[in-house]
């Protein structure tokens, strides 16, 4: 039988939830410093959707146009005024070394009755991102900003400190499981990288000799992120990773009639990014689980493979190897360091080992065995992330009751 005294105490603490502006819990503590041309400044940013800190390369004072920088200390809340509407907000880690950012990154000290880890969790929630989007003001798009005064006026429901600590404990346990799965998947991805790079020892041929052709996509004006309800969608560059296809990476289209059948993406298509950053140009992936009405943009090609000589799956793995990735990116060019392109003629000259089909199958079998493990691990990680989101939402809107750890019940 439960102790009624403990139950009464729990009820009183639960009643201690406060609905108030963030100014009740946060105090601006921006420390700006004059930029010294003789100094070098370790710089940081904030990743979107509450994903934490972005650690940038150090900046020499003599090479920046900024006259002042904000010092970013440990254990403070920081957000990007310019990208706040994307959920670029976090609480800095306690072991953050001396860091700096532009004055687009205001910082705030937390009140004594606030657990920093709880507020760090709060920055990962949709309710926080929606509030930041609602507080954004400006001319639209990338010119929108959230001013510190408007940020502090955002109203949130905040539990008393013992409940905050209990929520941190519960969500922290889920976070630990997610982190363990992520570590396992990364280890498997390292094994896959090694297997892919163990290319068959055979004569190398120009890839153009084993292709029936290369289909181009179409340039169109797309809308926002595609959803399951959209009839038409067009892939983003991020849909084609290094040997991985992400069909969810797409934008919505209001009309599909302007596309020809050659622009439609189908399961089994071997896709390649023809333009991207130098590190990502020429990524290849086999399209899988493609929703109907999915089209190919102009920055992605379809490689039509001569299956009598080489298998599509073999090319997906082989072209994702370190050696062939280097050859592909070596054919790229462009005037911008941030965006380079490959052309069909140059790509067609890339030499690829083409062993007999049985040897190709064995290479694919070894790689696919690890791919299966990665897929299963990432799927479990995604499931846990959904569980975390539902659990956290329930804890914050109090549809899921939780006992404060301090009460020992």
Give domain status of residue 168, yes or no.
Answer: yes
**Residues 143, 168: one domain?**
no
Tokens 């190919």 map to which residue? 296
CB 80 within 8 A of CB 95: no
> Based on the domain organization, do 104 and 127 belong to the same domain?
yes
| Domain final residue, candidates 308, 330, 349 | 349
342 and 370 assigned to the same domain:
no
Whether residue 216 sits in one domain with residue 131: no
Residue 386 lies in a domain: yes
> Are residues 395 and 331 part of one domain?
no
Range of the domain at 140: 18-158
Residue 323 included in any domain: yes
- The closest alpha carbon to 339, from 303, 301, 299, belongs to 299
Q: Are residues 194 and 215 in the same domain?
A: no
Q: Are residues 369 and 335 in the same domain?
A: no
Is residue 248 a contact partner of residue 234, using CB atoms and an 8 Å limit? no
Q: How do the pLDDT tens digits run along the chain, 409 residues long?
A: 445 444 444 444 457 899 999 999 999 999 999 999 999 999 999 999 999 999 999 999 999 999 999 999 999 999 999 989 889 999 999 999 999 999 999 999 999 999 999 999 999 999 999 999 999 987 655 568 999 999 999 999 999 999 999 999 999 999 999 999 999 999 999 999 999 999 999 999 999 999 999 999 988 878 778 887 888 899 999 999 999 999 999 998 876 557 788 899 999 999 999 988 888 899 999 999 999 989 999 999 999 999 999 999 999 999 999 999 999 999 988 766 678 899 999 999 999 999 999 999 999 999 999 999 999 999 999 999 999 999 999 999 999 988 775 444 3
The full 3-state SS of the chain, as one line of letters, equals CCCHHHHHHHHHHHCCCEEEEHHHCEEECCEEEECCCCCEECEEEECCCCCCEEECCCEEHHHCCCCEEEEECCCCEEECCCCHHHCCEEECCCCCCCEEECCCCCEEEECCCCCHHHHHHHCCCHHHHHHHHHHCECCCHHHCECCHHHHHCCEEEECCHHHHHHHHHHHHHHHHHHHHHHHHHHHHHHHHHHHHHCCCCCCEEEHHHHEEEEEECECCCCCCECCCCCCEEEECHHHECCCCECCCCEEEECCCCCCCHHHECCCCCEEEECEECCCCCCCEEECCCCCCCEECECCEEEEEECCCCCCHHHHHHHCCCHHHHHHHHHCCECCCCCCEECCHHHHHCCEEECCCHHHHHHHHHHHHHHHHHHHHHHHHHHHHHHHHHHHHHHHHCCCCCCCCHHHCC
- The domain that contains 95 carries what CATH number? 3.90.220.20
Q: Do 218 and 333 fall into the same domain?
A: yes
Residue 235 lies in a domain: yes
Residue 142 and residue 180 share a domain: no
Q: Other C-beta atoms within 10 Å of 303: how many?
A: 21
Q: What is the pLDDT of residue 257?
A: 58
Same domain, 192 and 121: no
- Shared domain for 226 and 328, answered yes or no, is yes
Is 10 a domain residue? no
pTM of the predicted model, to two decimals? 0.80
In this prediction, residue 256 carries a pLDDT of 57
Asked if the structure places residue 132 within a domain, the reply is yes
3-state secondary structure 185-203: HHHHHHHHHHHHHCCCCCC
| Token couple for 338 | 């941030």
4 within domain boundaries: no
pLDDT the model gives residue 337: 67
**C-alpha dihedral (183, 185, 225, 22), degrees to nearest 10:** -20
- Residue 168 is part of a domain; what is its CATH number? 1.10.287.1120
Given 331, 349, 367, which residue is the final one in a domain? Answer: 349
In this structure, are 128 and 225 located in the same domain? no
- Number of compact structural domains in the chain: 3
Report the phi/psi class of residue 83: left, alpha or beta, with left for phi > 0 and alpha for psi in -120 to 50.
Answer: alpha
What's the rounded Cα separation, in Å, for the pair 222 and 380?
Answer: 32
Alpha carbon dihedral 233, 237, 239, 241, in 10-degree steps, equals 170
């Amino acid at each position: 039988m439960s102790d009624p005294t403990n139950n009464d105490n729990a009820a009183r603490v639960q009643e201690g939830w406060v609905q108030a502006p963030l100014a009740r819990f946060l105090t601006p503590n921006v420390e700006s410093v004059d930029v010294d041309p003789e100094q070098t400044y370790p710089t940081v940013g904030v990743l979107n959707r509450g994903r934490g800190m972005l650690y940038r390369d150090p900046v020499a004072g003599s090479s920046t146009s900024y006259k002042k920088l904000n010092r970013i200390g440990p254990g403070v809340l920081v957000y990007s005024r310019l990208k706040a509407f994307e959920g670029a907000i976090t609480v800095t880690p306690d072991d953050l070394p001396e860091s700096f950012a532009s004055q687009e990154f205001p910082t705030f000290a937390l009140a004594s009755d606030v657990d920093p880890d709880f507020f760090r969790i709060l920055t990962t929630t949709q309710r926080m991102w929606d509030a930041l989007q609602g507080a954004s003001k400006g001319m639209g798009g990338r010119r929108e900003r959230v001013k510190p005064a408007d940020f502090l006026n955002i109203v949130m429901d905040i539990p008393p400190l013992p409940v905050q600590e209990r929520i941190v404990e519960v969500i922290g346990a889920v976070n630990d499981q997610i982190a363990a799965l992520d570590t396992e998947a990364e280890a498997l991805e390292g094994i896959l990288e090694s297997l892919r790079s163990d290319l068959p020892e055979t004569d190398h041929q120009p890839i153009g000799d084993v292709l029936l052709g290369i289909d181009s996509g179409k340039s169109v004006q797309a809308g926002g992120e595609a959803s399951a309800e959209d009839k038409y969608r067009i892939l983003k560059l991020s849909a084609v990773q290094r040997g991985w296809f992400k069909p969810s990476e797409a934008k919505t289209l209001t009309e599909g009639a302007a596309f020809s059948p050659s622009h439609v993406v189908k399961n089994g298509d071997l896709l390649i990014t023809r333009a991207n950053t130098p590190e990502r140009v020429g990524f290849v992936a086999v399209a899988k689980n493609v929703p109907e009405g999915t089209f190919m943009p102009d920055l992605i090609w379809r490689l039509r493979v001569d299956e009598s000589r080489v298998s599509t799956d073999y090319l997906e793995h082989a072209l994702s190897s370190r050696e062939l990735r280097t050859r592909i990116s070596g054919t790229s060019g462009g005037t911008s360091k941030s965006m380079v392109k490959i052309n069909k003629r140059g790509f067609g000259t890339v030499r690829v080992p083409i062993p007999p089909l049985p040897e190709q199958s064995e290479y694919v079998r070894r790689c696919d065995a690890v791919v299966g493990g990665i897929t299963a691990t990432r799927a479990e990680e995604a499931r846990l992330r959904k569980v975390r989101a539902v659990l956290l939402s329930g804890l914050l809107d109090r549809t899921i009751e939780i006992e404060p750890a301090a009460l020992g019940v």
